[in-house]
Each structure stands twice: as structure tokens, then as C-alpha cells.
Structure 1
Amino acid sequence: MLIRINLCIFLCFMTLIVWGQGNVWTSSKQPLQEVENLKKLIKAPSFRNKDYNIKDFGAIGDGKHKNTDAIREAIEKCNSDGGGRVIVPSGTFLTGAIYLKSNVNLHISEGATLLFSRDSSDYPMVFTRWEGMECMNYSAFIYAYEEENIAITGSGLLDGNADLDHWWYWCGARHYGWNESRPGEQKPARAKLHQQMADEVNPRNRVYGDGHFLRPNFVQTYLCKNVWIADVKLINSPMWNLHPVLCENVLIERVKIETLGPNNDGIDPEACKNVWIRDCYFDTGDDCIAIKSGRDQDGRNIGRPAENHIIENCMFKEGHGGVVIGSEIGGGARNIYALNNTMDSKELDRALRIKTSSSRGGIIENIFFYNTKVGQYKEAAVRFNMFYEKPGNHIPTIRNIWVEKLDVTHGGKYAVLSAAYESSPVTNFTMIDCNINGVKEPYKVDYLKNITLKNVKINGKTYTSFY
């Protein structure tokens, strides 16, 4: 029996590998079967049936007492004993950085809040990625490095405690509280990090932290396996919310993210393999879900694509894009499946967004966008952009994009908006059974190759071509 199960898993894996080699779908039955195969590979980790209540380690839930040490001791004890759940009970627990260890499920109980400190000294330097570039910088509020079988669960609240006077203004935008009287902002350090990446400086010698104003992410799991995040709510993030990097077997389900600060992306899986995001809710200050694989040289040198991602049954409200690929996509992306999702907000810019540039490079292929219901959006239902940032010498490839059963009640400027290179057109773009209403213009495209339109209606008119 075990041999049969292992053989089934192997065949599922090989099917996904084959579809990562530039093949072209001819029917939605193919990607739908790939989704079913992939689901068999992604499982939530299991944990020893033992609880460790942080109050037993001295934690006080009054919102004032700092509980960093108590939470650390509970996690270390749980880990050393062989694993289990670390319980955050009802109450408001102020804390600094939390380091999550193997075989530990950090469980945020109903009525519990983890309130994160506004003091940057509570977030020690770690090896991290900041906007797709490797460096030493502040720890994420919850961080794990090279751990296995880890989880954040429970119906409680994670409050990043960021606002116009704490963390957000570091972005340097007046809209988020910055002005000339503030002590600093991120632009000089960001430019320096870009140059260090271009010069291929050893990432561990790219040292930032205090005085550089590069905001930490909320939750970052780095080089981890078997990651499970379920049921929690996140608010007031300093920057990106959930950021798994170079992880494998990631399941994120029933998570609610409501945070409208600068660069407040919802979920940013970066260079990850086998990711399943389901039944989540997004109302964000940037992209709701943005799939990434590293910026420019760092992304290309590591060469790890984002691959085998499922996004299903999610609700997308405000954001720069619903399902997004890029822009830090130097390692490429393949086998991305978004299905049965709902999007609706006058502040949602785009439904499907693929953004990259010739400073990034990489191959983006096999993107399946299926059975999506959209109320309203601002710019485009489908957006391709190869000119997102400064140009370089690494023209990207976008190919095999399949959009089927896209229904839009009240669109924005365009149904489809595309900007590509003549030497690298968006290739094998298919739209089937799509009904997009209320747009100002049906499309604005330049270089598309091998377009297939079947039963595509825009403002009631049937289109068989965009040329």
C-alpha cells in the first residue's frame, strides 16, 4: 500500500515537472487535472498533542508588559520536548520578534492578540530578503529560518501596531506620514542595497538595520519546509504581511488580512514550491497576492522559480492587484493556478496582473486564471507589463496564459492592457467564456502572439481578435 501511495505522489510530481517545460495547454481539463495532482502534494504538518501556555512562562496579557522572553522560552521548551502547540491565551500580549522553531504550532486563541512592539531594537538583525534582495536587516515580527513543520494557527489577532507615526512613514511618502522633520526614510538605503546587489556583494555583508529605515516584514519563513498558517487575522503591518521565502509545502488557509499601509502586500510567496492559498480574505495597501522569485541579479543568480501555486476560493477587496506575478520575478514563475476567486472593490486596480522588466528577466509561464467573479476594478481585468521598472539587458518571457470564465460586472479603463517587447511578445494567450462589462475601452495591447479568443464579450460585443 505504501509503495502505491509513493508511486502516486511521484507520478503527480512528474506531471507538474513536465508542464514546467514550456508546453501549451489545449484545454482547461489539463490545468484542472494538474491542480488536483498538486493538492495531493500539499499537506498541513501535524504536531505532538502537547500544549505550552505562554502564561506558564511568565507572559502577562495586559498590552503593556513586554513578553518577548516568555514567548521565546515557551517556543524553545516546546521545540526541545519534540514539538506541540504554544498557546497564546485570551488577552493582549505585547512582544518583540518571535522566532518560530521546528515542530512548533504558535496558536493564537480566540480573544488573544499578539501586539508587536514599535521599538526597532526589539527586532534583531537576521538574514532576510527585502524587496527581493538578500541582506542583513531587522527580523520579521515572526521569523523562521531553515525550520520544518511550523505553524501559526488560531482565530486570534496579529497586530503589527504600525501607523503613520510608526514604521509606515519610513517609506518616504507624505501620504503615509513622512515629512522633512522626520528622522529618516528608506530611499538612500534602498538605493545602496540595489547597488550592492548589482555589484554582487556578499549578501551577509549587506548590513542594514537601525539608521537605514528598511521596514521589516510581518511574517517571514525563510528556507523552511511544511509551513501552515490558518485562521488568524493580520492588521497594521509595517510592510509585506506573509512572506515565505525559498519554502516548500506551504498551506495558507482562512487567513484574513486587513492592512492599508504602504507596501502592505497580503501574501508574497517568493521562490517557493508547492503553495496552496485557499479561503482567504484580502483588503490591502498593495498587491493582495504577489508571487515572486527574487529581484534582478539576486533572483537570477539563485535561479529558483516560483512554481506550483494554487490560489482558490479567496475574496479580494482593495489592492493594486488581486492575483499578481512580480515584480521581483528574476527567477521566473511557472504553474500558477488561480480558480474560483471573487474580487470586488472600486479601489482594486487589476484582477490578474503580471509585472516585470528587462532588469528582471526570467520566464513566466503556465498561468491559469479560472472561474473568477469580479464586481468592479479600476484599471484592467488582465494586465501584462514588461516595463514595470528601469530597463536592463534581461528581457523577460511571458507565455502560456489561460483565462477562462472571467465574469466582470463593472470594469474600469480596460478589459485587457498589455505592454511587451516586440522581440518578446506575450505568447499563447487564451481567453474563453469571458464576459467583461462596463469598461471604457475594450483593450489596449501591443505585442501579443498566438491569441485565442472564444466566446469573449466586452461591453456586450463579441471579440475574436485584438488586432
Structure 2
Amino acid sequence: MESFRLLVGIQLILSVLILNESRTCIAQGLKTATTTVKCSRKHSAVLTEFGGVGDGVTSNTKAFKAAIDHLRPLASDGGAQLIVPPGKWLTGSFNLTSNFTLFLHKDAVILASQEESEYPILEPLPSYGLEKNSTGRFSSLIMGTNLTDVVITGNNGTIDGQGKPWWTKFKARELNAVRPLIIEILFSLQGLTILAPIDIPNTDGINPDSCSNTRIEDCFIVSGDDCIAIKSGFDQYGIKMGMPSEHIIIRRLTCISPDSATIALGSEMSGGIKDIRAEDVTAIDTQAALRIKTAPGRGGYIKDIFTRRFILKTMQFVFRVNEFYKTHAEGYDPTLLSDVSNINCRDMVAENVTVAAEYEVLPGNTFTVVTVLLLHDKEKVYLKGKDKIVPPFRFGVEDVATKMWFHKLAYPGQ
């Protein structure tokens, strides 16, 4: 199956929807017809069979571990499924296995424990180095490493990260490691609702990081940071790792992010980002539709980006580029510039937008064609970007109307 590592902050709430289930599956321990579920796995078990208590108070970390340990050897024989029945299931970090489905009943809520001891400390990610997580990082709530064929699904159950205490400790500088994520797995993503406080920074909805052959579909995201931020490593660590994010498809996304982007590329993109396709996207009260973020020292590339059929309402920018991000790893090479090329945006409707496009671009850096084609009718205002512009490398088109149409908005040389 197609795979990627999904990184989502622990302060989020996820509503998990049904994904391609095909037959009725009644596991031992299910008492009523209301907990009968559909599955495509040969073997099934229920969390309560392993001591799970859904009272919202009792820790179920050991129950999740015992259940998955029991199913792990069975997973290679037609796959295995763990059913989380109705209840509030408090738990710390636990690991999934290959050929596995975690199924949440519609009245099931997985509650992330607020105890640091429930999240073992992990080594820093090799593509980010010690500067990004010098003291290590807490394990994610739901973990998966080197897995294949993993599904988290259900009848609109909920995974609640209960993140407020983590942010309180973070602001008070009381955390001794990087805060945990809610899910860190290998798979494609479909049908998630992600709700994060818009006044809390760094609450990215979804971070495909050094991922390939990835689909993100039918998602609703409210975030205090980028709804989707595609990354591939940090300065020399990302360059050394050399794992790009590529062949990523984003479809039917709705985003609300007053201070950030609908889709961001970077700024940690030293391993490269290419062949990203996004379509049928709606952004409301969001800072930018598409934002490219990089800096001297990042190296790498952002290329072959294709977006179409965006509906944008109350935006500060349609398109934004910033090549002056200042956070760096110690010992980075400031002469390494990023190649940004072949960025294409078409069939976009924007209402109540302040600036069509803003470029904060390094002099002499590679930056090739950007085309923005918006749906046009007589009621919309036509604005054409300049074919040639000169430093100070900042360009904006002020809007005096409520609707705009842009055509061939290009940087110098095009």
C-alpha cells in the first residue's frame, strides 16, 4: 500500500471515518448488535478482552499493548483488527503493527494521557538533528515504525489529544523534551476532521515529512498553523538524509487557519519537495492559499507543484513566497540556496483578498514560472502581475474589490 508518516500535534481532536471496509466482523467479547462492525481482516479482538476500562480515568496503555501484542503474530495470516468499543479510553503511547486495523466505534473516544511518564523519550529524527529536538522527543500517542498496510478507521469515533496541559508546560518552559504528536504512522490519509486551537502556534494539521506516494483526501482542518505543511528535513541533516517528499495528492480539503497557509511547502525542505498536486480545496479566513518557505542554507528544491480548483474566502494572500527563514542548524552552509521552479496554480476563485501575491525572494536565486489562473466572469476584477520586477524582492497587488482574477503572475525572467 502507499505509505507516509503522518505527523499531527497532540493538541488536536481527530474524528475517524470509515475507510473501505468490506464485510461484517463479529469479534469474541462483543455483547450487542450495536457494536458489530465491518472489517476486511481475518482476525479480530476487542480492547475489553485485554483489561480495557472505558471510564475515562483508568489508564489503558497496558491493555492496548497487550491487545496488539496478541494480534501481531496473527496479522501475517490475513490481517488483524483491534476494535475499540463505546467508552472513553484513556491511554499513553502505544505501537501499531503491520497488516492491522484500529477500529473505533462511533461512541468510542481515545483520550491521550496527560502524564509525561506515559510517553517514552525517543531519539531525535535523523533528518532534523539535535537543534530541533536536542533533548529528544516524547513518543507519539499512536506510533508506527517501518509498517505496511495500516488503517485507523471507524464509525466517526474520536481521538482526543487533550493538549492544553502540554501547551501550558511548553509556555512555562517546563517540558524536558519535544511535545508528543497524536499520530505518527505510515499510511495514506482520508476523511479526517482535525480541530486545533487557532490561537496556539505550531499546531500544523498534517505534516507529510519525507513522504512519497501519499494521498490526503476529504479532510476538514482548523489550525493555529498551516493546515498541511509538506517537509523533508532540516539544513545539512535533511540534505544528508536525502529523502524528498514527492508524489503527494491532496483532494477535497477544507481549511481554516487565520495566521498561516492552507498548503505550505517548507520551511524544512532540505531533502526536496516535488510533484505535489492539490485540487478541489476550500480555504476560509486563512492567511495564504499556497506558501513556499525556505532560506539560505536549506538547499534542496521545490518543484513541479500543481494546484487547481481552489475556492478562497477572506484571505490575506493567494500566493506567498518567503526565502528568508532564520532558524538554522549549527554549522549550516549559508551558500546553499533552494531551487524553486515550475509552480502552477489555476482555476482559483478568490473573494475578499488583500494581496494577490507576495515574494520575499533572494537576489539571484533560481525562481521560475508561477502562473495563477482564476475563474473569470464579468463581475470579477482583472489584475495582471508585472512581467519584470526589481529588488527589494517584495511584490504585492492591492485589491480594491471583493473578487479578483489573476492571469500569469510571474517572477522576473518569465
Task: State the Cα distance separating 1:427 from its structure 2 match.
Answer: 0.5
Q: TM-score, normalised by structure 2?
A: 0.77
Relative contact order higher in (CA < 8 Å, ≥ 6 apart): 2
Equivalent in the alignment of 2:339: 397
Hey, what does 1:334 align to over in structure 2?
274
How big is each residue's C-alpha offset from its partner over 1:151-193, in whole Å with a ceiling of 9 and x where there is no partner?
2111111111111xx1113443xxxxx4xxxxx35xxxxxxxx
How far apart are 1:458 and its partner, in Å? 9.3
**Offset at residue 47 of structure 1 (A):** 5.0
1:214-267 CA distance string (max 9 Å, x none): 21111112xx4xx2xxxxxxxxxxxxxxxxxxxxxxx21110000123311111
Distance 2:51 2:290 in 1: 47
* Number of the residue aligned with 1:382: 319
Q: Which has the higher helix share?
A: 1
Match of 1:357?
Answer: 295
Which of 101, 104, 108 matches 1:108? 104
Change (3 A) 1:461 1:255: closer
Provide the C-alpha distance between the structure 2 equivalents of 1:286 and 1:400, rounded to a whole number of angstroms.
25
Please say if residues 127 and 238 of structure 2, whose CA atoms lie closer than 8 Å, have aligned partners that are also in contact: no
Describe the SS at the equivalent of 2:261: coil
Question: In the superposition, relative to structure 1, how do residues 362 and 342 fare at CA in structure 2: closer, same or farther (>3 Å)?
Answer: same
In structure 1, what is the equivalent of residue 29 of structure 2?
none
CA RMSD of aligned residues (A): 3.1
Task: Give yes or no for contact 1:131–1:328 (8 Å, CA) kept in 2.
Answer: no
Aligned residues: 350
Retained in 2: the 8 A contact 1:442–1:458? no
User: Counterparts of 1:164-175 in structure 2 under 5 Å?
Assistant: 166-172=165-171
Tell me, what secondary structure is at the counterpart of 1:293? coil
User: Which one is further off, 84-93 or 126-135?
Assistant: 126-135
- Give the secondary-structure state (helix, strand or coil) at the position aligned to 1:344: strand
Aligned residue in 1 for 2:348? 406
Pick one of 356, 362, 384 that aligns with 1:415: 356
Q: Which amino acid aligns with 1:117?
A: S
Of residues 312-321 and 54-63 in structure 1, the stretch that sits farther from structure 2 once superposed is 312-321
Partner of residue 84, structure 1 = 80
Counterpart in the other structure of 1:99: 95
Please give the per-residue CA displacement for 1:313-334, whole angstroms capped at 9, x wherever unaligned.
Answer: 1111125110111111111100
Structure 2 equivalent of residue 256 of structure 1: 193
> Which position in structure 1 is the counterpart of 2:140?
140
2: CA distance, partners of 1:459 / 1:113: 42
> Following TM superposition, by how much is the alpha carbon of 1:298 offset from its aligned partner in structure 2, in angstroms?
1.4
- Contact conserved, 1:409 with 1:438, CA < 8 A, in 2? no
Runs of 5+ in structure 1 lacking a partner?
1-42, 173-177, 179-183, 186-210, 228-250, 450-456
Report if the CA contact (8 A) 2:262-2:288 is conserved: yes
Distance change in 2, residues 1:116/1:259 (3 Å): same
SS of the equivalent of 1:75 reads helix
1:277–1:142: structure 2 CA closer, same or farther, 3 Å change rule?
same
Give the gaps of 5 or more residues in structure 2.
1-19, 23-38, 329-333, 394-400
How many angstroms does 1:114 deviate by?
A: 0.5
- For residue 149 of structure 1, report the CA deviation from its aligned partner: 1.5
Provide, for residues 92-145 of structure 1, a one-character-per-residue CA deviation record: whole Å limited to 9, x for no partner.
011010111111211111010000111111001234539944764210111111
Q: Normalized against structure 1, the TM-score is what?
A: 0.69
Structure 2 residue 240 is the aligned partner of structure 1 residue 298:
no
SS at match of 1:70: helix
